[in-house]
Amino acid sequence: MIFARDWPRHAAVSLLLLASAATFASPAIADSAPAAAPIRGDFILRGTPEQGIALVGQVPGGTRTLTLDGKAIPFTAEGHFLIAFDRDAAANARLVARLGNGRAVERLLSVAAGSWRIEHVNTPYRGSAKNDADFERRRPTELAQIAAARAVEHASDGWRQKFIWPVTGRRSGFFGSQRVYQGKPGGYHGGADIAVPAGTPFVAPADGVVVLAAAAPFTLEGNLLIVDHGMGLNSAFLHCQRLDVKVGDRVRQGQRLGTVGRTGRATGPHMHWGMKWRDARLDPGKLAGPMGG
C-alpha cells in the first residue's frame, strides 16, 4: 500500500524506471526498421530466350549502358528493357551492362531453336502485281515505306502490356513456316494468320502510335497498317479491307483499328498479324498467348 506522504517519492521512481525502459527499447525499435534495399548485382529476365520471342528484363543496379551482341539497348529510369530474338537468331547472345564504376556485368544467353512448318499457298508469289515486271517496279517503293515507318520510334508503354489478339478465329497460318507459292519457294511466314469473314473488325493488341496507314494497297500486304508499341517493338496488320486510323494517331489496347479483308497476296479474307523488334521477326502468338473464343 502506498501512503499519501510517500506519493511524490514513488512517482519519481516510476518516472525514472519508465525513462530507463524507453532507453533500452530504442535499439530494438531501430533493429526492426527495414534495411535499405541492396543494389541488384545481376540481370532479371522474365522468360526463356527462344527464336521468335521477346523478353522483358531489368538491368543490374548502377547500369549506365546496355548492349545485346554489341548493339545499344535502351532502358527505362527504373531499369526495365526489352530484347527479342529473330526466327533465325543464333544459338547464343551476349547481354552486357556497363556500370557507373566501370565494371561490366555479362550474361551469355542460350537461345532455344524454334520448330517450323512447311505451308503450301495457292496464290501467285508476286501477289496483286500484274506481272513480274510490275512487281519489280512497285516493290522497292513499298519496302522503303515500310522501313521508314519501322524506323520511327515513339514514347509508348505498349511493350510493357500483356498483348491480346487483334481478332479471334481459325488459325490459318503460323509464324516461321516455310512458304511455297504455287510451287515456288518463298521466304518464311512472318506472322500469324487468322481466318475470319471480310469486314470483321480488328483491334489494337496493345497501346501504340500509328506509323503507317497505306493510302493504296501494297502488292503483297494489301491495305497495310503498322503500330509502334515503343522500345523498337511494332505490329503490322496486312490484307485489311478498311483502315479506321491514320498516321500519328495514338491508339489504346482494344481500340478498333479497321476491318479484315483479302487485299494484296491473300487466298481469302484473313488477318495477318506480324510483329518485329528492330530487324527481328517475332511470333505474335508467343506474346498474346492462347487465343480466346
What are the structural domain ranges in the chain? 44-110, 118-288
Max CA distance (Å), the chain:
118
C-beta separation of 249 from 209 below 8 A? yes
Q: Which of 85-89, 215-219, 255-259 has the highest mean pLDDT?
A: 255-259
Q: Please give the pLDDT value at position 125.
A: 60
How far, in Å, CA of 238 to CA of 253, rounded? Answer: 18
Q: Please give the pLDDT value at position 176.
A: 83
pLDDT of 2 higher than 50: no
How far, in Å, CA of 287 to CA of 91, rounded? Answer: 21
pLDDT of 17 higher than 60: no
Q: Please give the pLDDT value at position 223.
A: 97
pLDDT of 279 higher than 60: yes
Q: Please give the pLDDT value at position 135.
A: 83
Q: Please give the pLDDT value at position 126.
A: 59
**Nine cell digits for residue 37:** 534495399
pLDDT by residue (tens digit) across 135-185? 888 899 999 999 999 998 898 999 999 999 999 999 988 888 876 777 776
User: The domain 44-110: what is its CATH number?
Assistant: 2.60.40
C-beta separation of 268 from 239 below 8 A? no
Q: Please give the pLDDT value at position 49.
A: 95
C-alpha distances in Å from residue 182, one per residue of 117, 130, 192, 267: 17, 16, 20, 12
Burial letters for 3-12: b for 16+ Cβ neighbours within 10 Å, e otherwise? eeeeeeeeee
* Mean of pLDDT values over 62-86: 96
How much of the chain exceeds pLDDT 70, in percent?
80
How far, in Å, CA of 111 to CA of 49, rounded? Answer: 5
pLDDT of 253 higher than 80: yes
pTM, to two decimals: 0.79
Q: Please give the pLDDT value at position 14.
A: 39
C-beta separation of 250 from 230 below 8 A? no
Q: Please give the pLDDT value at position 289.
A: 92
Question: Which range among 32-41, 181-190, 253-262 shows the weakest confidence by mean pLDDT?
Answer: 32-41
C-beta separation of 259 from 241 below 8 A? yes
22: pLDDT confidence band, cut at 50, 70 and 90?
A: very low
pLDDT by residue (tens digit) across 174-201? 888 876 777 776 677 889 999 999 999 9
C-beta separation of 111 from 90 below 8 A? yes
Give the start-end residues of each E strand in the chain: 44-46, 54-58, 63-68, 71-72, 80-84, 92-99, 104-110, 118-121, 170-173, 178-181, 184-188, 191-195, 201-203, 208-213, 223-230, 233-243, 250-251, 256-260, 270-277, 280-282
How far, in Å, CA of 203 to CA of 260, rounded? Answer: 10
pLDDT of 236 higher than 80: yes
Identify the CATH homologous superfamily for domain 118-288. Glucose Permease (Domain IIA) (2.70.70.10)
Query: In 33-77, where does DSSP find H-type helix?
Result: none
